[in-house]
């Protein structure tokens, strides 16, 4: 088992890979409601902005039923590499994608893909085999059903990929509320964790806006 203290990622050594978050294929996700899943995906995307991570977007067969990458991600990262794969199911089978990952210089990869069992699992396992430390963001990936999600996570773990949630990613990157990214992280939580947002609203009302 890896030593967490030695292996945990930071804003200085991690890259964010968002794979196949496309308007067509996202309709295959049924372990989250459409609104909840889209919120999870956008929350993960915003983490990259808050912590200034290198970000790579990729899509598969956009001209077919998979559809285009959702517009919020493209608007969020107008300068990020967008690898539009012509046919490869696994992003890691695309040389341009692998080259973009290598160009980041980061060895810890935070990855999400629709769906968990294919779009995330295949490149995540391949990246782990290539020596990267890979963290699969399960709640920003999604699956046809809960059984598929469970089996996919088990397979990922067997191949050395660490399953996480977007909240775990944000908290691990933030580490200390005294860090300068605290305002951005707090805003992210407020927007995408409804219970947390109500908690903060309640606190601000009771304290008159004082921290």
**CA 48 – CA 166 distance, rounded (Å):** 11
Strands (E), the chain: 14-19, 55-60, 82-85, 108-113, 133-137, 162-164
Of 69, 100, 118, 119, catalytic: 119
Distance from CA of residue 209 to its chain's centroid? Answer: 32
Question: Could you please report the per-residue DSSP string of 25-63?
Answer: GGGG--SS-HHHHHHHHHHHHHHHHHTT--EEEEEE-TT
Is 24 an annotated catalytic residue? no
The residues annotated as belonging to the active site are 119
């Amino acid at each position: 088992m890896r030593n967490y203290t030695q292996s945990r990622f930071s804003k200085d050594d991690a890259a964010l890979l968002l794979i196949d978050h496309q308007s067509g294929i996202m309709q295959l996700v049924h372990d989250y409601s459409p609104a909840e899943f889209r919120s999870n995906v956008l929350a993960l995307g915003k983490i990259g902005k808050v912590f200034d991570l290198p970000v790579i977007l990729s899509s598969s067969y956009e001209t077919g039923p998979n559809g285009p990458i959702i517009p919020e991600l493209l608007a969020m990262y107008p300068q990020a590499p967008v690898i539009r794969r012509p046919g490869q199911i696994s992003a890691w089978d695309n040389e341009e994608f692998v080259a973009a990952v290598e160009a980041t210089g980061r060895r810890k990869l935070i990855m999400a893909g629709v769906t968990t069992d294919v779009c995330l699992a295949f490149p995540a396992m391949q990246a782990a085999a290539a020596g990267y430390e890979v963290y699969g963001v399960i709640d920003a990936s999604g699956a046809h059903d809960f059984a598929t999600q469970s089996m996919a996570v088990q397979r990922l773990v067997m191949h050395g990929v660490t399953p996480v949630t977007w909240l775990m990613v944000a908290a691990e990157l933030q580490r200390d509320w005294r860090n300068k990214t605290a305002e951005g992280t707090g805003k992210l939580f407020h927007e995408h964790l409804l219970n947390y947002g109500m908690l903060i609203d309640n606190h601000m009302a009771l304290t008159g806006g004082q921290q």
